[in-house]
Amino acid sequence: MPYPEPLVQPMRAELVAVGVNELRTAEEVDNAFGAAKDKSMLLVVNSVCGCAAGNARPAVRMSLQANDLPDMFTTVFAGQDLDATSRAREYLMGIPPSSPFIALFKNNDPVFVLERRHIQGRSASAIATDLVGAFSKYCGNTEEVDNSEGNGEAPSESESVSSQHEDLPSTFRSIL
């Protein structure tokens, strides 16, 4: 059951007021991902909890000061816009759901994620620093991101995950 709208409205407004596009339906989520096919997009899974209010939303607002920014900024509201949140999480298969939650996508692939455990108990400025670093790495003017480890070749996602966690299924995706 969704939270009462009067309770949630000020929390929505914090991100919308700085230009984050609110996605309230599954169709709006699909449209955003369709538009971001060849772009970078930040997705914020907003929440009523204290770490969203004191850490996640302020960090997103602070990160807007960066030189390099994603092409699109979007948000869904967990516990309120249930279908939109569920659909957004379908684009994060293999990454456990949490809220608040922040993901940076490049060409519709998650390249940087901050789960609740990376947000809770940290300052907004520390989280903003993480976001700005991710923006610089994935949203800058560089044509190609160098993820190599000195051998000229970057390990594939499945190689790097499976070599560290052989007990995980091949469908598991981790950005850590």
Return d(Cα 93, Cα 39) in angstroms, integer. 19
2 cis-preceded (ω within 30 degrees of 0): no
Return d(Cα 57, Cα 15) in angstroms, integer. 7
C-alpha distances (whole Å) from 2 to each of 15, 64, 78, 101, 108 are: 19, 29, 9, 18, 28
**Active-site residue among 8, 44, 51, 103?**
51
| Residues in Cβ contact with 93 at an 8 Å cutoff, skipping those fewer than 6 apart | 171, 173
User: Between β-strands 101-106 and 40-46, what pairing exists: parallel, antiparallel or unpaired?
Assistant: antiparallel
Catalytic annotation present for 51: yes
Return d(Cα 74, Cα 97) in angstroms, integer. 17
Catalytic annotation present for 139: no
**Active-site residue among 49, 59, 104, 128?**
49
Return d(Cα 35, Cα 117) in angstroms, integer. 29
Which of the residues are catalytic?
49, 51
